[in-house]
């Protein structure tokens, strides 16, 4: 018997890297895991590594209507939700003088808006004693050139974790932000400026 037998989990950005590894571990401990990702082919591959203990829902966390579809899929299973791992994220890196409105909006709509509305839309599904986990970043603490927008978005995640922990305590819902530091994932390789992967 696993520690999470009978539990239901959601992992956004669950098709690779930290998200996929977490989903696999949750399933190994007995949870049924809902995974989200933007590309159906990659989502299908991730589901195949887990098997019947996983359900894939193609979605983009920056699109509220996609999050509604995720919530509907979880609701249809009829067991509520015990774990939310709001892991989907990304960003563009640029020196202060090169940041564009598009860079800013893209990063904040995924990292900040995506996290906020993922958690908000899952709130009605959360069972007593549920756990919400947010993916933070050391960038929120370090002053790294070219990380202005990304770092600010992750500082917002840190604030979400503290604020929501206080707000949801009466429901017995725990909220934590994990800051794993640099992990060699496809996301890190694709996003980090040249030479900064090990910072």
Per-residue 3-state assignment (H helix, E strand, C coil) for the chain: CCCCCCCEEEECCCCCHHHHHHHHHHHHCCCEEEEEECCHHHHHHHHHHHCCCEEEEECCCCCHHHHHHHHHHHHHHCCCEEEEEECCCCCCCCCHHHCCHHHHHHHHHHHHHHHHHHHHHHHHHEEEEEEEEEECCHHHCCCCCCCHHHHHHHHHHHHHHHHHHHHHHHHCCEEEEECCCCCCCHHHHHHCCCCCCCC
Residue 1 lies in a domain: no
Residue-wise pLDDT tens digits, 76-110: 999 999 999 999 999 889 999 999 999 999 999 99
Residue 64 lies in a domain: yes
Residue 20 lies in a domain: yes
Give percent above pLDDT 90 in the chain.
85
141 assigned to active site: no
Select which of 117, 150, 160, 164 is catalytic: 150
Residue 159 lies in a domain: yes
In this prediction, residue 194 has a pLDDT band, given cuts at 50, 70 and 90, of very low
For residue 66, the domain's CATH number is 3.40.50.720
Residue 181 lies in a domain: yes
Residue 83 lies in a domain: yes
Expressed as residue numbers, the domain containing 19 is 8-191
Question: Average per-residue pLDDT in the chain?
Answer: 92
For the chain, the domain total comes to 1
Residue 61 lies in a domain: yes
Residue 198 lies in a domain: no
């Amino acid at each position: 018997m696993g520690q999470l037998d009978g539990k239901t989990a959601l992992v956004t950005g669950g098709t690779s890297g930290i998200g996929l590894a977490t989903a696999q571990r949750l399933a190994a401990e007995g949870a049924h895991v809902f995974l989200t990702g933007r590309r159906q082919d990659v989502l299908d591959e991730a589901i195949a590594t887990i098997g019947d203990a996983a359900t894939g829902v193609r979605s983009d966390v920056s699109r509220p209507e996609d999050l509604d579809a995720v919530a509907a899929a979880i609701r249809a299973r009829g067991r509520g939700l015990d774990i939310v791992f709001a892991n989907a994220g990304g960003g563009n890196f640029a020196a202060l003088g090169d940041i564009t409105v598009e860079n800013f909006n893209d990063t904040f709509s995924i990292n900040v808006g995506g996290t906020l509305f993922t958690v908000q839309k899952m709130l009605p599904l959360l069972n007593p004693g549920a756990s919400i986990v947010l993916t933070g970043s050391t960038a929120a603490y370090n002053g790294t050139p070219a990380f202005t927008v990304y770092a600010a978005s992750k500082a917002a995640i840190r604030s979400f974790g503290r604020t929501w922990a206080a707000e949801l305590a009466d429901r017995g819902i725990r909220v934590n932000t994990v800051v794993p530091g640099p992990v060699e994932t496809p996301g890190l390789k694709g996003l980090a400026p040249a030479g900064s992967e090990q910072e």
